[in-house]
Amino acid sequence: MQAYDPEKAARIWDRVRQPPTAGLDVQKLPALINEEWTDAAIYLMLSRQFQGKHNLLLRQMAEQEQTHAACLKGIYTLVSGKRAAEYTPQPEAAPVETLLRRCYGREMRSLAAYEARASDPEYGPVFSRLAAQERDHCRRLLELLGSINQYRR
């Protein structure tokens, strides 16, 4: 039988006791949640200005953004022990192209944030999935911007 090393045992117990999300900055989650809600509100508002496949596309993206916000709120609750504050965005009045351009910027920021958190030991798979959907949103926004005059009412 090997000798018991109390220092080694203490280091092991320290690792065991350390929460797996120690690297996750919970303070940044509310801003990400708000950006997801903002995009969802804008996509829903814009969907009313389009018909056909782009109306459906924008409604699907709005629903996905709402799901992203819900996932982030769930992570926030689990990590912080508190519920995230409710946020009700009011989409601004601006030309469609301007709104889509701003949404593209937010999607890119969200993509970068999710990719940076993809290695989190507990929530990494969730952030990887969110990143993949944001990447697809970026592609769809570019497609929409490229064909905007063709599909507007």
In tens, the pLDDT along 60-81 reads 999 999 999 999 999 999 998 9
Q: What CA–CA distance (Å, rounded) separates 105 from 121?
A: 28
CB 141 within 8 A of CB 100: yes
Q: 69 or 10, which is more confident?
A: 69
Predicted local confidence at residue 77, as pLDDT: 94
Q: What CA–CA distance (Å, rounded) separates 78 from 71?
A: 11
The 3-state DSSP class for residue 50 equals strand
CB 66 within 8 A of CB 36: yes
Which amino acid is residue 61, in one-letter code? Answer: M
Predicted local confidence at residue 12, as pLDDT: 64
In tens, the pLDDT along 95-150 reads 999 999 999 999 999 999 999 999 999 999 999 999 999 999 999 999 999 987 64
Q: Residues of 5-17 as b/e, b for ≥16 C-beta within 10 angstroms?
A: eeeeeeeeeeeee
Q: What CA–CA distance (Å, rounded) separates 75 from 66?
A: 14
Rounded mean pLDDT, 39-53: 93
